[in-house]
Structure 1
């Protein structure tokens, strides 16, 4: 007697907690991925969720961890900022779709009183607090500036006021957080937007991955045309 075939494991899409998620939800829905009601429950501590499609699940993780989950194949697709992709530079990741959401920039900032007389063209050595040491060191190296990077995961704006570092490299959107902490943006390293990322192996071996990519591509085109 032949054994019944086993159902393939669901495709897992990693989505980030925080600012990008609210913008991503309409695109997910337009791509045919609608989370179960518990996904919207702010009191829920769950991290893995079903969708209306039994072949697709969502996991909600920290933005920096999305790339890691997808690169190592724990998730097949993910939504992540281009800042994270630049910082980790995983060869296993393919980023086929710019989702045109989560727009901000990665910038260098310093105390306003220092910026009043400072000329970035004269920098030869900088001490910088950032959660992007790879991108930061590379940016300054291309300019011939030696960068001492101090890795922080948050509260970057405190570093100059407490003497940890003279400058910071962090994401900037409106600039309000910088202003409220006495800092000003002095250089822009890169513009940032959210991307759909895919595990390269899954793209080749999982039949439903490519149609999902095309669904997201169509969702972005539809949002731009609206």
Structure 2
């Protein structure tokens, strides 16, 4: 029996494959998968899904482990075990908007893909805001007058700069995380432990 890992498609998937290569795993099946959504390697089975779905597959025990962005855990709070941070997928949450904007007296309106994270952050600061939930490019919201500012994940800041926006406040940093199904950790400890142990790094990531 091999462990089953759910991988977030796209950037995190590629970074995780490089992470495995550095630990001398045979990643050829992952690199040569074509359009396959499921792959078997020498050490584990893997399948590929969107980040929110990765957390769901792990929560329901379809996958033993998952590689997912910390933002997914914070926003949706799935019932999984947050096992350990990983040394990739590093970025930060920030408040951004147009420079030199003069705030008025009304309640601030914030556009974001992350209403729960945003609400908690401002509440912890004792501030009340109105949230506009968007799914696409939140950078449009202040440019078109839908919102005063945005809350989003920032990696390089290039998208903000190219659209005339600036970071107004750094909120906190996040990284990729390895999550686990709670039952799998108990019942499949023997087959999961070698894999999990190989993921540990000496550097403390946050």
TM-score by length of 1: 0.79
Q: Residues of 2 paired with 1:64 and 1:34: CA distance?
A: 27
| Ranges in structure 2 where 5+ consecutive residues have no aligned partner | none
- The number of residue pairs the alignment matches comes to 203
5+ residue gaps, structure 1, are: 1-7
Structure number, greater radius of gyration: 1
**1:20-49 per-position Cα deviation (integer Å, ceiling 9, x unaligned):** 222211322455654454x3358x332211
SS of 1:146's partner is coil
Using the alignment, how far apart are the partners of 1:169 and 1:83 within structure 2?
A: 12
Instruction: Check conservation: 1:103, 1:191, Cα contact below 8 A.
Output: yes
Give SS of 2:108's match: strand
Question: Which residue of structure 1 lines up, in the alignment, with residue 7 of structure 2?
Answer: 15
Q: Which residue of 1 aligns with 2:88?
A: 101
CA shift, 1:163, in A, is 2.5
Matches within 5 A, 1:9-88: 10-30=2-22, 33-37=25-29, 39-41=30-32, 44-53=34-43, 56-88=44-76
> Over residues 135-159 of structure 1, what are the superposed CA-to-partner deviations in whole Å (9 max), with x where a residue is unaligned?
1000111112122222222211111
* 1:1-226 equivalent positions in 2, closer than 5 A: 8=1, 10-30=2-22, 33-37=25-29, 39-41=30-32, 44-53=34-43, 56-90=44-78, 92-114=79-101, 117=102, 125-206=107-188, 207-217=190-200, 220-221=201-202
Distance in 1 separating the partners of 2:5 and 2:106? 43
Could you list the structure 1 runs, at least 4 aligned residues long, displaced by more than 4 angstroms after superposition: 30-33
Tell me, yes or no, if the aligned pair for 1:109 and 1:167 is still in contact at 8 Å. yes
TM-score between the two structures when normalised by the length of structure 2: 0.86
CA distance in 1, matches of 2:32, 2:163: 33
